């Protein structure tokens, strides 16, 4: 049995969808990513997280540029991830200044809004079992599910959510109407977690591909890539 987990950030913290042999096996939420991962520490072979994992010392990551290039009208869902030092700053103004020093361009406030969760996720890489964590981007996963074609509708629209749920169902990931506490999470976050789980199952099977291929490496030699 292959058990995997897909995780997405949400307003309440984090939402996770589990799969066993590619089929839905539960959903849950937690305010803390470490707590969520600890619950399934012995069960999950792969945990796919919709959050940048792995940072450079300078310049922009190739993974983000390549993901954006695939997504057509939805390319805005991918933000460029600046170097490690930028995320160590405490305030946006200092982070924006450091970003200009290291990349030649500024940092958007929208990107900076992910700072706390990005730090949280990257901190988990050094924990026991951190090698099970892989970075994914749900829109890239849905692009792959759709036959490597960008989806025409955004994920918060009715048409977009209907299309994404249908793509997951066609791949065997059927989300029940009753998700328990996870049912309080915004629908697009649940769908993103399910898409991450689909990619996690592909990673566990050895079928997933990285962007870029081959991946870049962070200063510690860990691969930096978006998997799908």
pLDDT computed for residue 41 by the predictor: 62
> Along the chain (228 residues), what's the average pLDDT of each consecutive run of 10 residues?
97 97 97 89 90 96 98 95 97 97 95 96 94 97 97 97 98 97 97 98 98 96 97
Question: Which residues contact residue 88 at a Cβ distance below 8 angstroms, ignoring those fewer than 6 apart?
Answer: none
Q: What's residue 43's pLDDT?
A: 87
Q: Which long-range contacts (CB under 8 A, 24 or more apart) does 101-106 make?
A: 102/57, 102/58, 102/59, 103/58, 103/59, 103/60, 105/80
Q: Return the domain boundaries, the chain.
A: 3-54+126-211
- Closest of 76, 95, 97, 92 to residue 84, by C-alpha: 95
Angle between helix 138-145 and 158-170 (nearest 10): 60
Report pLDDT for 39.
78
CB 99 within 8 A of CB 82: yes
DSSP string, 56-115: -SSS--HHHHHHHHHSGGGGGGS-----GGGGG-SSHHHHHHHHHHHHSS---HHHHTTH
Q: Running DSSP on this structure, what letter comes out for residue 147?
A: T
Task: Find out whether 3 and 19 touch, Cβ atoms under 8 Å.
Answer: yes
pLDDT for residue 58: 93
What is the reported pLDDT for 64? 98
Q: Does domain 3-54+126-211 have CATH number 3.30.420?
A: yes
The greatest distance separating any two alpha carbons of the chain, rounded to the nearest whole angstrom, comes to: 49
- Residue 136 is given by DSSP the state B
pLDDT, residue 149, reads 96
Answer whether 164's CB lies under 8 Å from 155's CB.
yes
Rounded Cα–Cα distance for residues 87 and 113 (Å): 11
pLDDT of residue 38: 86
Q: What is the 3-state secondary structure (H, E, C) of 52-66?
A: CCCCCCCCCCHHHHH
Query: What count of Cα atoms within 13 Å lies in the side-chain half-sphere of residue 118?
Result: 21
């Amino acid at each position: 049995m292959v058990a995997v987990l897909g995780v997405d950030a949400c307003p309440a913290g984090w939402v996770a969808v589990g799969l066993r042999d590619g089929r839905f096996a539960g959903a849950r939420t937690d305010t803390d990513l470490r707590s969520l991962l600890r619950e399934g520490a012995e069960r999950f072979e792969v945990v796919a997280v919709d959050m940048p994992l792995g940072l450079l010392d300078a310049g922009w990551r190739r993974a983000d540029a390549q993901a954006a290039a695939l997504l057509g009208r939805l390319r805005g869902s991918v933000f460029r991830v600046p170097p490690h030092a930028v995320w160590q700053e405490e305030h946006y103004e200092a982070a924006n200044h450091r970003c200009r020093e290291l990349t030649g361009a500024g940092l958007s406030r929208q990107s900076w809004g992910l700072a706390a969760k990005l730090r949280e996720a990257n901190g988990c890489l050094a924990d026991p079992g951190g090698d099970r964590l892989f970075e994914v981007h749900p829109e890239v996963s849905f692009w792959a599910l759709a036959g490597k074609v960008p989806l025409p509708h955004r994920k918060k629209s009715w048409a977009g959510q209907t299309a994404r749920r249908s793509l997951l169902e066609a791949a065997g990931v059927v989300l029940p109407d009753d998700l328990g506490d996870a049912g309080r999470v915004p629908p697009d976050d649940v769908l993103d977690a399910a898409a991450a789980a689909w990619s996690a199952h592909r990673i566990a099977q050895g079928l997933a591909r990285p962007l870029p291929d081959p991946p870049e490496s962070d200063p510690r030699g860990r691969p930096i890539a978006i998997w799908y």
